[in-house]
A and B are shown apart, each in its own frame.
Chain A
Amino acid sequence: MQAMAYARTVLLPVTVTVLACAAVLAVASGAVTARNRRAGTGLLVVAALTELAVVAQLVVGISQLASGDHDVSAALFVAYLVGLVVVVPLAVLWALGEPTRWGPGVLTVAALVVLVLVARLHQLWTGTGA
């Protein structure tokens, strides 16, 4: 099926990139918190990369939804995609207001939320546990 091929060549790489970025963000920000440092430029770069990946996922996800014949609740799926785009910027704003180790801790929470949301997105897409 054409949709399956598209899913393998586009959807999977985007999902993997999002997961990788979020995982790096979780580990890096967790390490900064553990070492009792403030959030630095490095963390912000990782957060920005994660956001880019999530925006790409939004675009790919919506185009997939529009073209495919998937049995997915469109509103719910788009809500998750949009929610994912909002999480990291809000977390960065909230984190920058905290000049202690707990600032990067907020980014850890955000990264974990991204991982959970992507997992739910995958469940919705494949129709398991929805």
Chain B
Amino acid sequence: MPDERVDRPRSSSGPGRILVAVYAVFAIAATGRASLQIAEYFHRAPLAYLLSAVAALVYIVATVALARGDRTSVRVATVSCSIELAGVLLVGIASYVDRAAFPDQTVWSHFGSGYGYVPLVLPVVGLLWLRSVRRSSPDVVR
């Protein structure tokens, strides 16, 4: 972004620093879990494990986008946080409704209860943070 005069990406400074750190933890945790599930016992619960992989991918994209913080990245981060929120809500509901499809845990099943419900809170905090980032750094030069 040629018109950006800020020294550091706004979305990864201040409180955003912590947000990126938490996202990174979930990116690694979800990637690790999904890799293990798919490599070791994929046949046990294919749907749940594929969703684990999707979750991992979304966390990775969100982490990188939040850390970069240029205008495109903020947009990418907003999209991935939205997908993440939709994912945790849909998988959360599905895991209660259709228990047979989720015989094993994923990051998002039961609204992320296995991870202290952080997966449910994280996208909401992320979207709120991105909104404040967009508001405080408009596209004009400061």
Contacts and interface: CB of A to CB of B under 8 A. Distances in A.
Contact of A98 (B13, B25, B32): B13
Given A76-B36, A98-B13, A83 B28 contact: yes
Contacts of B138: none
A113 B25 contact: yes
A106 B17 contact: yes
Nearest to B116: A116
Interface in A6-52: none
Nearest to B67: A94
A105 B32 contact: no
Contact of B18 (A75, A90, A106, A113): A106
Given A109-B25, A113-B25, A102 B32 contact: no
Interface in B5-29: 8, 13-18, 20-22, 24-25, 28
Interface in A80-114: 83, 90-91, 94-95, 97-98, 100, 102-103, 105-106, 109-110, 113
B89 to A, nearest CB: 24
Interface residues of A, number: 18
A79 interface: yes
B21 A94 contact: yes
B36 A98 contact: no
Given A79-B32, A98-B13, A105 B18 contact: yes
Contacts of B25: 109, 113
Given A94-B17, A98-B13, A109 B28 contact: no
A23 to B, nearest CB: 17
Contacts of A83: 28, 32
Interface of B: 8, 13-18, 20-22, 24-25, 28, 32, 36
Given A98-B14, A102-B17, 8 more contacts: A75-B36, A76-B36, A83-B28, A98-B13, A102-B16, A106-B17, A109-B18, A109-B22
Interface of A: 75-76, 79, 83, 90-91, 94-95, 97-98, 100, 102-103, 105-106, 109-110, 113
26 contacts: A75-B36, A79-B32, A83-B32, A90-B24, A94-B17, A94-B20, A97-B8, A97-B17, A98-B17, A100-B13, A100-B14, A102-B13, A102-B14, A102-B15, A102-B16, A102-B17, A102-B18, A103-B17, A105-B15, A106-B18, A106-B21, A109-B18, A109-B21, A109-B22, A110-B21, A113-B25
